[in-house]
Amino acid sequence: MKTVAEYRIQYSQILNEKNELNEPLPGWATAEWLQEAYQHMMLTRIFDQKAVALQRTGQMGTYPSCLGQEAVGVAIGMALADDDVFVPYYRDQGAYFLRNHKLEELLLYWGGDERGSSFGPKQDFPVCVPIATQVTHAAGAAAALKLKGESGCVMVTVGDGGTSKGDFMESLNVAGAWQLPLIVIVNNNQWAISVHRSIQCGAPTLAQKAIAAGIHGVQVDGNDVVATHEAILNAKEHADEHKGATLIEAISYRLADHTTADDASRYREADEVKRAWEIEPVKRLRQFLISLGWWTEAKEKDWTEQCQKQVEQAVARYLAFEEDTPESMFDHLYSEWPSVLDEQLDILHEKVERMTKRHTD
């Protein structure tokens, strides 16, 4: 008997849970870069808190918080180039804003208005709520880049629960078979709604799912914005050198409920959440910056006030959006208008007329 193959999954952490360095900072991680990353993470957190409040007061629909996962989104957004393609899932607020989406546009989306999906870089995909279907779309986009001989890569995100879907494994398989310029980032926040990571998959890591597909797989501390960004840069270089796809498993923790329609206290122990708060990414980076004299309480106060003002202004613009017409549901469905929609449009007009008459009588 002989061994035909052996594999190992490497784990990366640069800024550890004690706010100390395990190894020297990469050359790109300057004081300016770290401060910018922290500012984006803070803005994301303050926006997130406001979005939850809007839902609780009936001013927005169901919303998925990214509390505790800000480092993953910001690391992605700061790594993406203009010609890259971003295929997000529903917990990528930090990356979304760094792709030049305005705060009010994301509020518009979660407010139930599809116009919130029509902004940002033209090559990027809209927020995806169905689980793992976006990974298939991303593999297709990566195949298109390769066939056209275009530069850049496709970056797609998915939660740990999505790695159990067939869409996820099929996409990895084609990425390996075709050596696609694809980066798949798994935000392993430990809970797929109420299903814990430990009972969702028997493998010790989710990163090792890359092995069966013949692509590179690594695990990183997703609460460490430096290590996460470094892993993404390495994956981009891997793709640029035509070495194929990479799967990055970013270990984080969902500090909030799954969405505002969930109550995580029904299935999570309070002590577990308390321990997660002790190593969360925003606090970790803030303490590290302060220890080096690169951040102060005065800067913290000033930036917090700026973020709150920016968010409040965005909320005002969101609430000022005029409601779209019912007929808009038919827009952008077909490149050429099919006659079958004429009848449906007539039915809609009749229904709107009846409802308007009912409310005025």
DSSP 126: P
pLDDT digits (tens, 9 = 90+) for 70-129: 999 999 999 999 999 999 999 999 999 999 999 999 999 999 998 898 888 999 999 999
The C-alpha atoms of residue 25 and residue 292 are separated, in whole angstroms, by 13
Amino acid at 187: N
The C-alpha atoms of residue 235 and residue 232 are separated, in whole angstroms, by 5
Cβ atoms within 10 Å of 25's Cβ, excluding its own? 17
Catalytic residue among 40, 229, 258, 284: 258
DSSP bridge partners of 192: 195
Helices (H), 80-165: 93-98, 103-110, 133-148
Q: Quick one: pLDDT at residue 169? A: 97
Q: Tell me the pTM.
A: 0.94
Q: Judge whether 268 counts as a catalytic residue.
A: no
Q: Quick one: pLDDT at residue 324? A: 87
Q: Judge whether 242 counts as a catalytic residue.
A: no
Chain centroid to CA 330: 28
Catalytic residue among 11, 56, 267, 349: 267
**Phi, psi angles (nearest 5°) of residue 190:** 80, -15
* Ranges of the chain with pLDDT below 70: 361
Q: Judge whether 267 counts as a catalytic residue.
A: yes
Catalytic residue among 45, 91, 216, 254: 254
Chain centroid to CA 303: 23
pLDDT digits (tens, 9 = 90+) for 348-357: 999 988 888 8
The C-alpha atoms of residue 187 and residue 255 are separated, in whole angstroms, by 13
